């Protein structure tokens, strides 16, 4: 390990969830890493040990200096923090902050794609930006564009375009308004509604409403798989529920078509709670293997999503990354027959979720098409 001083930049803050000005489902004492340069966007929740480790670098110091204070091997964890740019070589933090702020003015950028007025930024990434805009008639759109050249995200943007065009007639995903491959941007229809995550968290859903949402999620994914589209990044924020209760699926950046032959650079995305057991990497903190997504990957994640819908918790947890991975790989989730409000969950959903969460991918339904058939037969 080279003798370079690293610093935990001052634009990152560690706060308690209870100190935030907005409501979260987290316990008030939960520690959260905040990026103050990106509208105080929460980066992720951390435990006390991680907070203490990062705080060691508030003043510039070397890895060797900090390592001497720990009895366990911290090198893998240190490298992960450097990769995520939470720890930076001393002197580079100002340069790096400009990347977070983005060199271009977002209001000006929205004009470059058409006669649009910038409304807000919708994501917290620094390579590919997603912004909400409005035209002169007050119609809203979403624009996804690359901040700078990046081969993976160029391919990702093109895959998203292909997937959306195939699904256009089904009205389960945003409609493409314009795709400019040369200038690397995609203009899409804005879907009005509420994310499934917020829909579950902040509404008191009875069992009938939960069942109706479950049926629509399965039907939506069945149409997706029927058209040969693998989504690759299923989680609760990817679904929007509109005012009529219809379900829409967003963010096809990790998607691909089963008929594609050039899939060398395609990898699966995902929030760690949804990652399949066969693809978790317990020896690397908060990471999973780079692998090509498949229908059975989507099926497992739908299973996690449906579990969260009915029980309002995830099927697996863990106090550490290794502990979480071990639980996913070795422990069977609990299937209480009742929701937290005491309503009985129909057996057909419990049985379907159990199969979707099978440790062995070969034991899961081969696609959401089969899930749709099963739910209508159970």
Q: CATH number of the domain that 210 lies in?
A: 1.10.510.10
DSSP output for 162-181:
HHHHHHGGGTSSPPEEEEET
Which of 2-6, 50-54, 280-284 reaches the highest mean pLDDT? Answer: 50-54
Percent with pLDDT over 90 in the chain? 42
> Is residue 197 pLDDT above 50, yes or no?
yes
- Same domain membership, residue 117 and residue 84: no
Residue that wins the pLDDT comparison between 90 and 284: 90
Its pTM surpasses 0.85: no
**Final residue of a structural domain among 171, 189, 207:** 189
- What average pLDDT does the structure give for the chain? 83
Residues 172 and 313 placed together within one structural domain of the fold = no
**Domain end marker among 154, 170, 189:** 189
**pLDDT of 352 over the 90 cut:** yes
Last residue of a domain, one of 68, 101, 134: 101
pLDDT in the model for residue 235: 93
Is the pLDDT at 20 greater than 60? The verdict is no
Please compute the mean of the pLDDT values over residues 320-338 and round it to a whole number.
Answer: 88
Residue 229 sits in which domain range?
194-377
Say if residue 211 is in the same domain as residue 294.
Answer: yes
Evaluate whether 279 touches 248 at the Cβ level (below 8 Å): no
Contact between 269 and 253 (Cβ < 8 Å): yes
Among the ranges given (43-57, 178-192, 237-251, 328-342), the one the predictor scored with the smallest mean pLDDT = 43-57
- CA–CA dist 144, 146 (Å, integer): 7
Contact 228, 258 (CB under 8 A): yes
User: Are 241 and 279 part of one and the same domain?
Assistant: yes
Tokens 């991975």: give the residue. 325
Is the model more confident about 152 or about 42?
A: 152
Give yes or no: residues 153 and 78 share one domain. no
149 and 97 assigned to the same domain? no
Among the listed residues 21, 55, 17, 51, the one whose alpha carbon sits nearest the alpha carbon of residue 39: 21
Q: For residues 363 and 226, state if they share a domain.
A: yes
Q: Assess whether pLDDT exceeds 90 at residue 79.
A: no
Query: Look-up: residue for tokens 């780079």?
Result: 290
Shared domain check, 290 and 362 = yes
Clarify whether residues 260 and 369 are in a common domain: yes
* pLDDT value of position 43: 61
Please give the Cα distance from 357 to 377 (Å, whole number): 19
Q: How many domains does the chain have?
A: 3
Q: Are 146 and 184 in contact (CB under 8 A)?
A: yes
Question: Looking at the structure, do residues 148 and 287 belong to the same domain, yes or no?
Answer: no
Average pLDDT, integer, range 1-21 = 71
């Amino acid at each position: 390990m080279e003798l370079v001083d690293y610093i935990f930049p001052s634009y990152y803050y560690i706060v308690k969830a209870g100190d935030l000005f907005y409501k979260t489902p987290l316990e008030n004492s939960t520690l959260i890493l905040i990026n103050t340069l990106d509208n105080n966007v929460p980066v992720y929740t951390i435990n006390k040990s991680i907070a203490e480790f990062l705080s060691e670098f508030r003043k510039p110091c070397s890895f060797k200096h900090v390592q001497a204070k720990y009895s366990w091997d911290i090198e893998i964890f240190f490298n992960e923090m450097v990769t995520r740019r939470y720890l930076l070589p001393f002197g580079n933090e100002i340069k790096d902050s400009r990347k977070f702020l983005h060199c271009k003015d977002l209001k000006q950028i929205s004009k470059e794609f058409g006669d649009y007025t910038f409304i807000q930024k919708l994501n917290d990434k620094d390579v590919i930006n997603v912004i909400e805009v409005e035209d002169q008639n007050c119609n809203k759109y979403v624009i996804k564009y690359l901040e700078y050249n990046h081969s993976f995200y160029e391919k990702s943007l093109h895959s998203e375009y292909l997937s959306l065009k195939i699904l256009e007639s089904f009205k389960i995903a945003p409609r493409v308004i314009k795709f400019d491959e040369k200038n690397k941007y995609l203009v899409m229809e804005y879907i009005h509604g509420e994310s499934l995550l917020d829909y579950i968290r902040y509404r008191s859903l009875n069992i009938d409403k939960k069942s109706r949402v479950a049926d629509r999620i399965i039907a939506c994914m069945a149409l997706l798989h029927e058209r040969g589209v693998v989504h690759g990044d299923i989680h609760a924020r990817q679904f929007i529920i509109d005012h009529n209760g219809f379900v829409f699926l967003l963010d096809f950046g990790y998607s691909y078509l089963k008929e594609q032959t050039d899939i060398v650079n395609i990898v699966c995305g995902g929030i760690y709670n949804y990652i399949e057991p066969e693809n978790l990497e317990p020896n690397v903190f908060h990471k999973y293997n780079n692998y090509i997504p498949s229908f059975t990957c989507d099926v497992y994640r739908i299973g996690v999503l449906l579990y969260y819908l009915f029980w309002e918790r995830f099927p697996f947890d863990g106090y550490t990354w290794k502990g979480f991975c071990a639980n996913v790989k070795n422990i069977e989730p609990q299937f209480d027959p009742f929701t937290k409000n005491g309503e009985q969950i129909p057996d057909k959903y419990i049985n379907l979720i159990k199969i979707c969460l099978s440790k062995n991918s070969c034991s899961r339904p081969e696609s959401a098409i089969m899930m749709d058939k099963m739910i209508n037969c159970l």
